[in-house]
Structure 1
Amino acid sequence: MSVFAKAKASRSARAVLSGAALVGVSALLLTACSSGGGEAASPSASETAAAGDALPIKAGDRALDLKIGTILPQSGTLAFLGPPEEAGVALGATEVNDAASGLNLEVIYRDSGDTTTDTATVSVTDLLSQDVSAIVGAASSGVSFTVIDQITGAGVVQFSPANTSPDFTTYEDKGLYFRTAPSDLLQGEVLGTQIAEDGNSTLGLLVLNDPYGTGLAAATKEAFEAAGGEVVVEQQFNTGDSNFDAQLSAISAAKPDAVAVITFDEAKVVVPALVGSGYPGDKLYFVDGNLADYSADFAPGLIAGSKGTLPGPKLEDDFRERLLTADPALTDFSYGPESYDAAVLIALAAYAANSTDGTEIAKYLQQVSGGTGDGTKVTTFEEGAKLLAEGKQIDYDGASGPVTFDENGDPTEATIGVYEYGADNKYTRIN
């Protein structure tokens, strides 16, 4: 099933209506609150604009040299996501520069690694020394939490195409953090409900113990139990672990009808072990962190019939072909659209602000996404830049969807796709 969700929230209030998810016949309003305490934060620039007072756009030509960096996974447990994400940024940069709008976009690509290394910190330090205005990444929520203070503390925009931890919604980020991926409160709602609708009464959870894994597991459990199911076993492991015998034994002993594998690259180890122990391969459920092409990793048919979820609309053939011009070797396209939109939105916000200062760009990001409630619809940087040069407001709808940021830098409209694996251990969208 495809899910469309809208949400609105406030950074200063530190509370969020995280999404209204329409799943099957149920309609649930998901809510979450951050811990209180401390002094109240002063309103961010995006909050000021969100009150319905869009910031003015100065008409006229631009002469801007915008430099951004990326910290996307070239190594580590999410390395399979690096190529499509970097291709998305590269395609966005190419199309921005081809528009000949007076804004020139330069991208510096760096590795994020994973949480077992300090690769992201080293990369961010390097990028900040080169005076970037924004950094696209990381893909991993856990990695982003290790560098968000470093980035936003420097007055630089952090824009992730794939962070899904609910904790970012109310994080004190000086109004400088944005993402094109929806909170896992939504993905968990879809996943848990899908598992129940497939006729499963009991569920086991194998969970990566980091902000991504535990947040998604909690949302999945809540949705599954709300649909009448029971989570009978939940086992966690840490990034870098190589032995999962205890966790797999506990899951096998509980004999759940289905198992949600909420991991990253560790799926390559745990899935064959689960199926090898006699667990049916078609009763496994994957998530965005491990929904990958396993044709070269698993025996044919090992996971045929298993399902998984991934944020984002159905990838259009035209956009797929455009991504392949940036990286002809791509075989996975996950989060490529979200990465493309990140690059384009940053460029549009810089154009609207007529500035390459990170804090000025942040002031306009919600606005150019249509989050202030006005503006002419545009779907490319070129269309948007032309209107902005005339002093007009815009509402960018991108390859990943309408985007439409709320005051937290979260997209208020999102789609979650459900996918199924075939005998070749490749996945296709079924909704």
Structure 2
Amino acid sequence: METTKAVIIAVVVTAIVSGAGVYLVAGGGGEAGPTPTENKPIKIGAIAPLTGAASYGGKAAGAGLRVAVNELEERGLLGGRPVEVFIEDSESKSQAAVDAAHKLVEMNNVCAMVAEYRSQNTIPVHEYTNEEGIPTVNAVATSPNINQDELGPYTWSTDALDDLMGPACVEWAKEEWGVQGKDCAILVMNDPYGVGIGDAMKATIEESGATVVKYIKYTTGKSDFRPEITALKDSDPDFLFGVIWGSEATAFWNQANELGFKQNIEGKAYFPYVELALGDAPRDQVENIKGLAQASRSWRADEFWEKFREEAPDIEWKAYYGPSYYDALNVIANAISWAQSTDSDEINQALPRAFESYVGVLDTDMRVDDLGRQINQTFEKRVVLEEKVKGIGYVTSSRE
């Protein structure tokens, strides 16, 4: 078994580069040998962006899945039955994600699935898996539309949705400065993720007695943000909230410094996923910019990261994509154990209990509400100080 597992995991690393569909196998560890009937593999699917624009996260997701499979091999599942985890590439595209879901359901006959990464890919995947009655746990996507009212009863999330993280950014500003009677601006990308979190920020701002004086939804892929920055500067906000990532963030901060806007909102600009929001801008250009990150505060975190580094030593940044996929796969395994079955409907019925009893890497409280959404999420507050990103505390957002 050890030889087989090593070969399969080596193939997975190659597939993450090539985008081929792959699978991991976990055998039953240490329990009495199962009968031939009991030895039938438990098949679980996973979809991640192994190639394309979001592949930096897909590599971390694959490593997180491998850590989970290794642990399943040690402890076994349903009396030692082997577990096959089929990983398909979404290519960072919606249609490819849906095609991958079809393959996992129709060819691989999975009983449950982890999917996906981007909200615009995750929503159509969950629409399809709900039609097919396959419980699907969203690991990373954060659109508020990813819930059972919108997509159906087989939709679940280990990740906090935007209607928790967006308000948490505003709550942090309230703690530091107070926002009542203040003017706020919002800058987000014009896609389901950006608009979802922007709308959640706007609602919390207005509920707090502040005013949104400018709400900009920019087109992704652009490199010239001078028109948006000029409009923001002209609105003269007391606070800036928003979502901007990667090369777009690099361009934004370069130009915000050039036009003198960054100096106006220094110390009062708040973003989710702060490392992404800084892009590759020189750190002296983003001094005192603030943001949130998923907090790894549970007792499982140190052990997980040690194993994660062994699986993916080339991934330097502690991206939350790895633990998100790890937690999602473990929640499914937990549901299978509670159900004592691989029947998809029985697994789905066991998922609330599986979430409640599972201690995750990203949070010790993994409970979900009656729409399959995380009830609570703790985020780490991070700020650029002396050209380094530093954690300075925590904020919790809750549906309770």
- Paired with 1:358 and 1:71, the residues of 2 have a C-alpha distance of 18
Work out whether 1:149 is the aligned partner of 2:96: no
Q: Could you tell me how far 1:172 is from its partner in structure 2?
A: 4.6
Work out whether 1:227 is the aligned partner of 2:190: no
Q: Secondary structure at the match of 1:347?
A: helix
Q: CA RMSD in A?
A: 2.8
Q: Is the alpha carbon distance of 1:286 and 1:367 closer, same or farther for their aligned partners in structure 2, counting shifts above 3 Å?
A: same
Tell me which residue corresponds to 2:16: none
- Paired with 1:80 and 1:198, the residues of 2 have a C-alpha distance of 33
Tell me which residue corresponds to 1:121: 98
Q: Could you tell me how far 1:231 is from its partner in structure 2?
A: 1.9
2:145 to 145, 161, 167: 167
Q: Secondary structure at the match of 1:85?
A: helix
Q: Is the alpha carbon distance of 1:127 and 1:267 closer, same or farther for their aligned partners in structure 2, counting shifts above 3 Å?
A: farther
Tell me which residue corresponds to 2:116: 138
Higher helix share: 2
Tell me which residue corresponds to 1:269: 251
Amino acid in the other structure paired with 2:257: V
1:326 to 298, 311, 314: 311
1:69-120 CA-partner distances (Å, limit 9, x unpaired): 32223345544433333322221111011213413222233333446x6332
1:247-276 CA-partner distances (Å, limit 9, x unpaired): 232112223233223134332332332233
Q: Secondary structure at the match of 1:118?
A: helix
Tell me which residue corresponds to 1:33: none
- Paired with 1:327 and 1:165, the residues of 2 have a C-alpha distance of 28
1:91 to 56, 62, 67: 67
1:350 to 330, 333, 336: 336
Tell me which residue corresponds to 1:208: 189
- Paired with 2:318 and 2:165, the residues of 1 have a C-alpha distance of 20
Work out whether 1:82 is the aligned partner of 2:68: no
Work out whether 1:419 is the aligned partner of 2:385: no
Preserved CA contact (<8 Å) 1:206 1:235: yes
- Paired with 1:409 and 1:353, the residues of 2 have a C-alpha distance of 18
TM-score of the two chains, using structure 1 as the length reference: 0.71
Work out whether 1:366 is the aligned partner of 2:352: yes
Count how many residue pairs are aligned between Structure 1 and Structure 2: 345
- Paired with 1:73 and 1:66, the residues of 2 have a C-alpha distance of 23
Q: Is the alpha carbon distance of 1:413 and 1:107 closer, same or farther for their aligned partners in structure 2, counting shifts above 3 Å?
A: same
Preserved CA contact (<8 Å) 2:297 2:361: no
Work out whether 1:396 is the aligned partner of 2:358: yes
Q: Could you tell me how far 1:213 is from its partner in structure 2?
A: 1.6
Q: Secondary structure at the match of 2:82?
A: strand
Tell me which residue corresponds to 1:384: none
1:100 to 49, 58, 76: 76
Q: Is the alpha carbon distance of 1:286 and 1:111 closer, same or farther for their aligned partners in structure 2, counting shifts above 3 Å?
A: farther
Tell me which residue corresponds to 1:250: 231
Structure 2 stretches of 5 or more lacking a match? Answer: 1-32, 395-400
Tell me which residue corresponds to 2:24: none
2:46 to 70, 75, 83: 70
- Paired with 1:267 and 1:301, the residues of 2 have a C-alpha distance of 14
Alignment of 1:284-295 (within 5 A): 284-288=269-273, 291-292=275-276
Tell me which residue corresponds to 1:309: 292
Preserved CA contact (<8 Å) 2:278 2:286: no
Q: Could you tell me how far 1:341 is from its partner in structure 2?
A: 1.4
Amino acid in the other structure paired with 1:292: L
Amino acid in the other structure paired with 1:348: N
Preserved CA contact (<8 Å) 1:307 1:418: yes
Tell me which residue corresponds to 1:337: 323
TM-score of the two chains, using structure 2 as the length reference: 0.76
1:388-413 CA-partner distances (Å, limit 9, x unpaired): xxxxxxx2222222212333222223
Bigger RCO (CA 8 Å, 6+ sep):
1
1:112 to 72, 87, 90: 90
- Paired with 2:295 and 2:272, the residues of 1 have a C-alpha distance of 13
Amino acid in the other structure paired with 2:287: A
Q: Could you tell me how far 1:318 is from its partner in structure 2?
A: 2.8
Q: Is the alpha carbon distance of 1:242 and 1:109 closer, same or farther for their aligned partners in structure 2, counting shifts above 3 Å?
A: farther
Q: Could you tell me how far 1:357 is from its partner in structure 2?
A: 3.4
Q: Could you tell me how far 1:242 is from its partner in structure 2?
A: 4.9
Amino acid in the other structure paired with 1:262: V
Preserved CA contact (<8 Å) 1:74 1:112: yes
Preserved CA contact (<8 Å) 1:151 1:158: yes
Q: Is the alpha carbon distance of 1:186 and 1:246 closer, same or farther for their aligned partners in structure 2, counting shifts above 3 Å?
A: same
Q: Could you tell me how far 1:337 is from its partner in structure 2?
A: 2.7
Q: Secondary structure at the match of 2:113?
A: strand
Q: Could you tell me how far 1:134 is from its partner in structure 2?
A: 2.4
